A = this chain, B = another copy of it.
């Protein structure tokens, strides 16, 4: 299996765990767990494949992905009550999923010979869109948009690091590792130490 396929598996697995945790917080039935887990796990990569016109979509080509997502959902259904804090687990798992999905998306675009902006955007889309769909469908405030946290920015940084590494240093594993590492460090730094970019604060609007 290629490194890219392995990354896809990893991101499907971990995003599925986050989806199932969200389902547990919304007190769904088992099929609801499967549904949200699959949507979260495969949403970002599906959008990447549809936009890049990769046929067939990765989980249609290889239904094992679906089994992985469903397995993760079932494990969470039976074990979520053991967690000290589901929200905390969710947020940290989500950071790992993001860090794996960003290079999975950017790497695919790079392999297809896409130019730099497309590579970076595909990394961001693959990383952020699954979680965004999860939160919009369940009606939560999207993690993507939480004020004062690096999330899209972490994905942007990681995808950029991947492109820079593969262009100036080495392609393959080093570039993928750089992408994953930078994404996770930025996201984890934001969660643990409150790293953030300056947000927009206007003077109070006049109307």
Contacts and interface: CB of A to CB of B under 8 A. Distances in A.
Contacts of A141: 139
A64 to B, nearest CB: 9
Interface stretch (A25-33, A98-106, A175-183): A25-33
Contacts of A30: 153, 197-198, 200
A174 interface: no
A31 B197 contact: yes
Interface in A7-58: 23-24, 26-35, 38, 46, 50-53, 55-57
A87 B202 CA distance: 14
B199 A85 contact: no
Contact of A53 (B27, B55, B80, B118): B55
A178 B195 CA distance: 50
A144 B55 CA distance: 29
Given A51-B50, A60-B114, A67-B117, A32 B145 contact: yes
A34 to B, nearest CB: 8
Nearest to A122: B60
A132 interface: yes
A97 interface: no
A145 B152 contact: no
Interface in A78-121: 80-81, 84-88, 114-115, 117-118, 121
Contact of A207 (B27, B52, B87): B87
A137 interface: yes
A138 interface: yes
29 contacts: A24-B202, A27-B201, A29-B148, A29-B150, A29-B153, A29-B196, A29-B197, A29-B198, A29-B199, A30-B153, A30-B197, A31-B153, A32-B145, A34-B152, A34-B156, A35-B124, A50-B51, A51-B57, A52-B60, A53-B56, A60-B118, A63-B117, A63-B118, A66-B117, A80-B202, A84-B206, A87-B207, A137-B142, A139-B141
